[in-house]
Structure 1
Amino acid sequence: MAAAKGTGRKGSAGRRAGTRAIPPSRRVVIAGGGLAGLALALSLARGGAGGLDITVCDPALARPAPGGDASRASAIAAGARRMLETLGVWSVVAERAEPILDMVITDSRLADPVRPSILSFAGEVAPGEPFAHMVENDDLVNALAAACREAGVTLAAEGIARFVAGPERVLVTTASGAVIEAGLLVAADGARSRLRDMADIGWVGRSYDQVGIVATIGHERPHEGRAIEHFLPSGPFAILPLATRDDRHRSSIVWTERADAADYLLQLPDEDLREEVERRFGLELGEIALLSPARAFPLSIGIARRFVAGRFALVGDAAHVVHPIAGQGLNIGLRDVAVLAETIIDACRLGRDVADEEALLAYERARRFDTVTMGLATDGLNRLFSNDLLPVRLMRDLGLGLVERMPAAKRFFIREAAGLTGAVPRLMRGEAL
């Protein structure tokens, strides 16, 4: 269906596309220059089908390359790391990435003097291969953008104003009025996707009465690659290891807090906020310091009613959002990218259109079950652990204690967290498209 009315004038983008004499059936426009959008562009550009023209549109591409703000970092699971390695990006960020060598889970109240470990995981899915690495988002975005330019992807520093999808092409009008005739438009423009709304694709979800607070913490002693998740009544408090920088031992925190309490906490003077972090962080790593501003974002769960429409597809947060309790938001978005790129490249090799209907529906079928399952799992975990009811506490601690005594179950959960279970797409197996 048409997503918007009007096509505007043909500007520089339209003339550029015409001079390259590439048919719309071989052209893909991606809205969103974040991790998912850039990863998709690079996957398609290096996919081996040949002759694809890829454009990424995002006003943020006009800004100077970010740097120095380590408040946002992500856990890159082993499957996603294999994908980035296959795309030639991992080597650029590997030196600044920190492997997660083991993970410890506690369940306690904030005032408890001792937080005993009730479950721990070894951190390798194979000898010498950690199940995840921590990578600062700025580093990964910059590496992907540079690789896209090298691969011939056009990075346009403007948004998309509207588009009209027809049976043979989609006409994409940029904010400057330029028109690009493409075969496929992909929305990777985040949870509040404008393009998803333009395509009249519904959204099912709800907001949690919780806020995620992220920051980078300095501490006296090395973390030795250990991740810790403290389950507290207000929500999980995760401590995730970061690479040492400027001789500072560092960790990233992802702190889930009730919305009303978060408003109060974020208005505290720096030293008072540091003390609140220390109460949750603990003293195991010595004295701590806030190395970045604490940033907050509302938490929610949601999924698009459809992942595809006529010559249109959703990836990443534009298709789904989950609670960060399992650290899987970015990884399931990159799995979207791997599956969509694989279906598009395979269709092109058979001489089909980049928006081949059968291929897009196959992408949707492949991803909906996985994302619904992950959404329900993280929602259930959040409900289970974000409360202080004694019967629930006893039940969950008993369950975690049983898992601690079952090595086979622990290996399964590690492989699941690493993104190496189920129908793993080729890129996440470390295979080129």
Structure 2
Amino acid sequence: MATSIALSLDNLPSDPLLLVLSFLDFRDLISCSFVSRRLNELTGHNPLWKSLCQKHWLLTEADKTHRGLAWKELFREYYADLGRYIDYYKTLKKAWDDLKNYLNQKCPRMIASLKEGVREEELDTIEAQIGCKLPNDYRCSYRIHNGQKLVVPGLMGSMALSNHYRSEDLLDIETAAGGFQQRKGMRQCLPLTFCFHTGLSQYMALESTEGRTRSEIFYQCPDQLAQDPSAIDMFITGPNFTEWFTSYVDNVVTGKYPIIRDQIFRWYVHDKCCVATTGDITVSVSTSFLPELSSVHPPHFFFTYRIRIEMAKSALPENACQLDSRYWKITNANGNVEEVRGPGVVGEFPVMTPGKVHEYASCTTFSTTSEYMEGHYTFHRLKNKEEVFDVSIPRFHMVCPPFRESMVRSVSRYLCLSRTTIIVVVVVAVIIVVDSLIQAR
């Protein structure tokens, strides 16, 4: 009769156990270490902690060598310092690294404006100073970089249009705390950014109050007609810090926000589909919404667009031409159409030769939250002015970001509707009574 062998963790081979442990997170590994002596030994296996260090802290072999620690000790050291941010750290650290790597190639002087991260105690002190808790993802980002020095150009993008210029800085925590708001309509709001030229900031709501949602990021848009200081509408730019920051970084590093003269031109968003080629000439368009020049009440939405006209390098020299006029067909959200014709573009009549690029910016205002434009330019050949042809301008959309009305307006509208409802009910009641009297007769 064969002798039975009792199975236990102590006599199982290591490889299958390590394979099982490799699927566990750090919390589960720590729990397993208390189950038995064997599991305690295996959960100290360095490759397990190496994968966790890479997963949660983005650490490399070079980081390990520099610190002179085993992977398990390295993980514990980071967790002791940044453990409360483990759900955000990887995402935000990667965004910061991607942004810095990109800027180091495209506009390196921007890197010099970044400030070193703050200590945990400094963030606690700020919370005590303003009397509000900071969102954990915001705190996590500021442990990596404490915003930037107040310089131009700003890290959060620039924009230039005629005599209107703006450049937005990412505020350090100390400056942001100095601008913490307690006034009516903006209570419990912390500025994230600041523009020297417009005085405009993007704010983050630290509490769900006055119609805002905690962690929401927005531009304030005061009612131009209201006397009440709390009648502040807002253009929403992000539901929380992580989405706000990572989406911005993604737009920068993927080229959606162009780098022009060592500045991030954040305000111009280029849709890769918004390109049209006619013969040797290609026209592409990028657009921008300007909150500082817009309002919800009255409805006045200000957009700017940047157009690039390029003649192919392979074009024949005899195809050189000059722009004479433009035609626009503008359609608003209500389906109303307006047509505009005029000479040149912003007062210029550019000459296009092989490889030549001409760019210009213009602007428009709408009373609806979205509109689109399309049209064509008319050119003539330099060698033969009688040879006239049209070059298509691709359709491009301009859409206002989501916005929220102030509590003051929402309440007043509700009260107005309530009064209207009461009047309607009274009128109906009177009709019913009169009708009853008539029937009674």
Q: TM-score range by the shorter chain?
A: under 0.3
Higher RCO structure (Cα 8 Å, ≥6 apart)? 1
TM (norm. structure 2) is: 0.21
Q: Highest Rg: 1 or 2?
A: 2
TM (norm. structure 1) is: 0.21
